[in-house]
Amino acid sequence: MVELFQGQPCRRIRIACGDTVLVALQGAHVLSWVSSGRERLFLSPANHWDGHTAIRGGIPVCFPQFNARGSLPRHGFARNLPWQAAQPVEQADHAQLDCTLRADDHTRAIWPQAFEAQLRVRITPGQLQVTLSVDNQGPTPLSFSGALHTYLAVDDIAQARLSGLGGQAEWDALTDARAPADAALRFEGEFDRVYAAATAPLLLADGAHRIEIAQSPQWADTVVWNPGQTKCAAMADMTPDGFSHMLCVEAAQVFHPVDVPAAGRWQGWQRLRVVA
Q: Is 209 a catalytic residue?
A: no
Contacts of 28 (CB under 8 A, 6+ apart): 61, 78, 83, 85, 99, 101, 119, 121
Check if the beta carbon of residue 271 is closer than 8 Å to that of residue 127: yes
Q: Which residue of the set 29, 75, 170, 250 is catalytic?
A: 250
Cβ neighbours of residue 7 closer than 8 Å, sequence gap 6 or more: 49, 51
Catalytic residue from among 29, 75, 149, 209: 149
Angle of CA points 230, 236, 237, to nearest 5°: 105
Active site residue 188: no
Task: Choose among 218, 248, 55: nearest CA to 150.
Answer: 248
Give the Cα separation of 2 and 191 in Å (integer). Answer: 37
- Residue 137 phi/psi, 5° resolution? -100, 10
Active site residue ranges: 149, 250
